[in-house]
Amino acid sequence: MWSCSRICTEGGDRVAEGKQRIIQKFVPGKQVTLAHILEFRPDTVIALGGGSAIDTGKAISFIYTKSSGAAKPRCIAIPTTSGTGSEVTSFSGLSDLEAGAKYPLVDDTMLPEIAMLDPALTVTVPAHVTADTGMDVLTHAVEAYASPAASDFTDTLAKKAFALVLEYLPRAFRDGQDCEAREKLHSASCMAGMAFNNATLGLCHGIAHAMGELLHLPHGRSNALLLPYRAGGGAGTHPTYYRADDRSGDCSAAYPGRRACPAEREDGRGSQTGAGGSLHCWQL
């Protein structure tokens, strides 16, 4: 949701009092046109919703600023799912449904000025969406931790997010009204976002974006399918750019509920899938 001067629903526009426009149920990248933005000249964009809504709100601010030369609208991000961490990142992913492609925008100016976290907004999120978005958080944490650009600061955020997801995602999945679990997951989502915004992500996300668009899979589920095979994977196997084996092993060992993995016992390192193979042993 973002503010302008009219209320525009999926079925058409309707005019409201004041200087706000609310767009609901939009498909990112399709309904958001340059004409919409230039016509209204917003000074504030409020992005309320899941990752797609917030990504779109950020892109609106960015495109409007670049196209008009006007001052950047203030962006207020209010997530209603615990997943992308988009409220604290400089990334935005826009879909082209006709082309079946997803385009990333990355610019520091897309970082929202204000992020508001209210876990009460997430208690009605369905269980399967909770699972998908929660696995996205887990993937952000692992990839940020395994990134060659990781630092002490991003490690701290990533490891805490990782631990919170492993402990509280099963609870939130089983009982969406579990307010403590919802709060912890919301914190984890934001922490993982802060981690990967500074440490970047890995090949798991690179593949997941393309795979999700092509197969129409939720983003978090695409990550969950790929994570055991490409956890934190960067560029090839060059030691300078690729340390997923060691670091994803750290994550796995830190989780007390993990199961023994037969392949891990055989070589003492991880499964035969290579990088991040020990992630096969995670048990949510």
Chain contacts with Zn ion (rule: CB under 5 A): 136
Tokens 């006007």 correspond to what residue?
70
What's the CA gap between 220 and 215, in Å, rounded?
13
User: Considering beta carbons, is residue 48 or 208 the nearer one to Zn ion?
Assistant: 208
Tokens 């919409």 correspond to what residue?
36
Q: Residue 83 CB, nearest distance to Zn ion (Å)? A: 7
User: Considering beta carbons, is residue 111 or 179 the nearer one to Zn ion?
Assistant: 111
Residue 71 · residue 77 · CB < 8 Å: no
Q: What is the DSSP letter of 232?
A: T
Q: What is the DSSP letter of 79?
A: E
Phi-psi region of 232 (alpha: psi -120 to 50; beta: other; left: phi over 0): left
User: Considering beta carbons, is residue 172 or 227 the nearer one to Zn ion?
Assistant: 227
List the structure tokens of 41.
């000249």
Residue 172 · residue 178 · CB < 8 Å: yes
Q: Residue 143 CB, nearest distance to Zn ion (Å)? A: 9
User: Considering beta carbons, is residue 50 or 148 the nearer one to Zn ion?
Assistant: 50
Q: Residue 44 CB, nearest distance to Zn ion (Å)? A: 26
246's enclosing H/E stretch is: helix 244-254
What's the CA gap between 92 and 278, in Å, rounded?
31
CA 150 to chain centre: 18
User: Considering beta carbons, is residue 84 or 271 the nearer one to Zn ion?
Assistant: 84
Q: Residue 84 CB, nearest distance to Zn ion (Å)? A: 6
Q: Residue 114 CB, nearest distance to Zn ion (Å)? A: 22
Q: Residue 227 CB, nearest distance to Zn ion (Å)? A: 11
> Which residue sits closest to Zn ion, CB atoms considered?
136
User: Considering beta carbons, is residue 21 or 102 the nearer one to Zn ion?
Assistant: 102
Please provide the DSSP assignment of 179-193 as one string.
HHHHHHHHHHHHHHH
